[in-house]
Structure 1
Amino acid sequence: MTKQLANSVQLYQVKTNLTIFGIGNSSNGALGRVHCQIQATTSTYKQCTSFVLLKDVTDRIPITRVPLASVLIPSQIQLADPKYNEPSYIDLLIVAELFFTLLRGEHVTLSDSITLQNTVFGWVIAGRVNSNENTETNIQCLTAITQPDEDLNTLLRKLWKLEEHNDMTIQNSKITACDKFYRETTRRDTD
């Protein structure tokens, strides 16, 4: 989720030390985390989930404006995004573990490269539209893997605990060695 969206709907934000990895092992640090409910306007679907906050989720999609005449959407299809053809920023990326709960069984193949898929949010469109522009250098990928980093305080506590344990082991072995040396080299006079 973009930080801008979280701010605009006034979501409570929690700081996090999270790195997001993507294509080519690129990485971005998260700006925070929010927990909220997402809800469809076209169905009764509701789901509580967490979102990582980022400055941007991706660049504008589609890369260029798609002429409406190039994709003939059947009149009975209610699109999740009626302005799908206009380049726009993505504000929210739903976690993969919810993906299959969003899909409904129906899909419509419009051409070899364009498919409509019914979801709880309405129909979504996917595929390649022929364009006169060379867009090969501007491919968008919306896949990311999050790698949670532990909170700095937690890491420090673990380090201190480890050092404390090592110090005790060293002290115990020093004390044992000292006691052994004392017993072997010290004698008590009889008077």
Structure 2
Amino acid sequence: MGDGVLATAIVFAKNENNEQRPARLLLDSGSQYNLITSELCDLLKLKRTPINVKIGSISDCVLEVKHKCELEIPSRNSPVKIRIMCLVVPRIRCEVPKLPFDAKLLQIPSHIKLADPHVERPGTIDIFVGNAIFWSLICTGQIKLNNAGLPLPKTRLGWILAGPMPGPQSKLVTCNVINKINVDNQLTKFWKLEECSLNKKVLSIEENAREYFLTKTVKCDEEGRFIVCIPLKDDNG
């Protein structure tokens, strides 16, 4: 079994002045946020809004993000337009697919218009769409291609290829899981923990002795009742 095909689409990213540029988009239901490369953001002259979040992924790799922006994505194959908010990152990932393949072998029906007409060619990703938008783009309808059983789902951006492919497998395996970490929330939790540790009561020698006595002598009988021995204070205490 070869590498899996990731769901890509060619779209026209548009700014507030209706200026647009073609962009390659990757759909991923396992991610919590949308991303855009800083290069495309600059080309479209999108307004950047300051933000302070961290993106976590596999192996606890964390990327600090300082800006977000909003853009419109019209479909090439339908009148559908979506507006999304994206985190601005230097780079999204390596080329997709990692290895080229012959799309003709898949026997795609001639009337099907793929969302990415060059899906078989390795290319960089400009926009990354997560689960906040992913499921709203999925339509009813799916075709199984060739003997490999590769699914061809229908979306509002066009038909997409997604799933396992026969053939050679690349040595580089990618898992797209993105988790947004809010720095403010993390710092709040940290200070709460610190506050608890600072306000912890320091027990005296006598209080420590009583606590130790209780933990060693408390028992539970067969009826579920607790049996507690009361510590007695000696004459010298």
Fold-level similarity (TM above 0.5): yes
Instruction: Tell me how far 1:113 sits from its aligned partner.
Output: 4.5
Paired-residue identity, %: 21
Identify if the C-alpha distance between structure 1 residues 131 and 31 changes in structure 2 by more than 3 Å, giving closer, same or farther. farther
Residue 13 (structure 1) aligns with: 48
Residue 80 (structure 1) aligns with: 115
Letter in 2 for 1:73: I
Residue 145 (structure 1) aligns with: 179
Letter in 1 for 2:180: T
Cα deviation code 1:63-119 (max 9, x no counterpart):
011123332211111000000000011111113111111011011111444110111
Residue 57 (structure 1) aligns with: 92
| Structure 2 unaligned residues grouped into runs of 5+ | 1-35, 192-237
Residue 9 (structure 2) aligns with: none
Query: Number of aligned pairs?
Result: 153
Output the TM-score relative to the length of structure 2.
0.59
Larger relative helix fraction: 1
Residue 120 (structure 1) aligns with: 156
Moved beyond 6 Å, runs of 4+: none
Equivalent residue for 2:144, pick from 87, 109, 120: 109
Instruction: Tell me how far 1:150 sits from its aligned partner.
Output: 3.2
Residue 131 (structure 2) aligns with: 96
Does the CA contact (< 8 Å) of 2:148 and 2:166 recur in 1? no
The SS at the match of 1:125 is coil
Rounded Cα–Cα distance in structure 1 between residues aligned with 2:112 and 2:66: 37
Residue 10 (structure 2) aligns with: none
Q: Does 1:71 align with 2:70?
A: no
Output the TM-score relative to the length of structure 1.
0.72
Letter in 1 for 2:122: P
Larger relative strand fraction: 2
More RCO (CA 8 Å, sep 6+): 2
Rounded Cα–Cα distance in structure 2 between residues aligned with 1:34 and 1:89: 20
Measured on the aligned residues, the alpha-carbon RMSD in Å equals: 2.3
Letter in 2 for 1:81: D
The SS at the match of 2:116 is coil
Does the CA contact (< 8 Å) of 1:15 and 1:31 recur in 2? yes
